Amino acid sequence: MSTRFSGSFTQQEPIPEEGIEAAMAVLRSGRLHRYNTATDELAETALLEQEFAALVGAKYCLAVASGGYAMATALRAVGVKPGDRVLTNAFTLAPVPGAIAAVGAVPVFVGVTPQLVIDLEDLAAKTGQAEVLLLSHMRGHLADMEALMAICDSAGVTVIEDCAHTMGASWKAVPSGTQGRVGCYSCQSYKHVNSGEGGLFVTDDAQVAARAVILSGSYMLYERHLAAPPAEAFDAVRYETPNISGRMDNLRAAILRPQLRNLASQCARWNERYFAIEAGLRDTPGLTVIERPAEESFVGSSIQFLLEGWETEAVEAVLTGCLKRGVELKWFGGAEPVGFTSRYDSWRYVQAPRMPQSDAVLAGIVDMRVPLTFSLEDCALISGIIKAEVGAVYQEVQGS
């Protein structure tokens, strides 16, 4: 009888006890709103911003309602207007083009390579079409950031980094989110810190930070922030910037602060599991493991592999076989979006030309979450199931 995995791909670890205690203190106080503080009290949200700025080495940080809100705020704060064109990845998740559309701008998609990063040649060819790149570090894969920034700097393109999957990651020891003008992070349940929903925004640009604070709905209480620019940065901005409320509250901030202190050890645990699964998948006929560059320090909270050149029916047979054995794989090659696996041709509010080279890559991408609730034994079992199912289908196709 075939072995079967009986665990959950969506079960997260519990919130640390320290976070639960801090959340209970906020609830007992009744002061959940970030600006509703007692005399001489520092809001949990302001402390979170200060601590996250220090963690990544940024001057300014703003805690907001979601990663998607952080991206839309970043676009507005750097000056994107309705009708502007904004470059972004063809391989990303729906909130990224959604943030562009939310400000009335138009996504221009840039291709994906077999390493699952943005195609720098295609980027260089398209820099004349837009003044901003919303760069998605999709599924935690970092492009050569030095080369990317050189391309964008020489073309006068402002970079905003979507770091939903790269909190704790770096390129050549430079934290993800700190090379562009703005870095945007998610604190949604399946990301590297969990407050159910939430986001963080970092920048070294005082004017961009000031606009973001006003956009988030500060009601002119910006001097209560610990990781915001000085008051003079708000002199003109506060009169010219609309309030598009999207603040984080003290309850979520209280839950997040202990998780940030544990982030490095959690990232190491994710990578243990990632490498255990990767090792089990190597040398599987028909399956391509994504090789990670030495310059990249990544966080393996998910894993991807390629079934390059496979027909739809064969990929679907692998997905079905694995699911019957308890392993949930997601595929970016389907004709219709399923769950989060939409892609550039799914977002029909954008008139995007076909991208044949990227289509070939997307057609082979298989994706799997790696929650920390998996043991290393679970990882060995899961990779064994995938290896067996891929191998069986591949052998059948080769023999037909």
Domain residue ranges of the chain, discontinuous segments joined by +: 17-261, 264-399
pLDDT the model gives residue 106: 98
Q: Please enumerate in sequence order all residues whose Cβ is within 8 A of that of 73, keeping only pairs 6 or more positions apart, or say none.
A: 62, 64, 201, 212, 215, 216, 244, 246
pLDDT the model gives residue 336: 86
Q: Which amino acid is at 390?
A: V
Q: What is the DSSP letter of 249?
A: P
Q: Which amino acid is at 376?
A: L
Stated pTM of the model = 0.97
Q: List, for residues 255-294, the tens digit of each pLDDT value.
A: 999 999 999 999 999 999 999 999 999 999 999 999 999 9
Round to whole Å and give the CA distance between 381 and 387: 10
pLDDT the model gives residue 400: 67
Q: Which amino acid is at 32?
A: L
Tokens 């997601």 map to which residue? 330
Q: Does domain 264-399 have CATH number 3.90.1150.10?
A: yes
Round to whole Å and give the CA distance between 285 and 307: 10
* Length reported for the chain: 400
**250-269: buried (b, 16+ CB within 10 Å) or exposed (e) per residue?**
bbbbbbbbbbbeebeebbeb
CATH no. for 17-261: 3.40.640.10
Which of 225, 184, 175, 228 is CA-nearest to residue 202? 184
Q: Which residues of the chain have pLDDT under 50?
A: 1
pLDDT the model gives residue 328: 97
Q: Please enumerate in sequence order all residues whose Cβ is within 8 A of that of 156, keeping only pairs 6 or more positions apart, or say none.
A: 131
What CA–CA distances, in Å, run from 176 to 58, 125, 244? 11, 24, 26
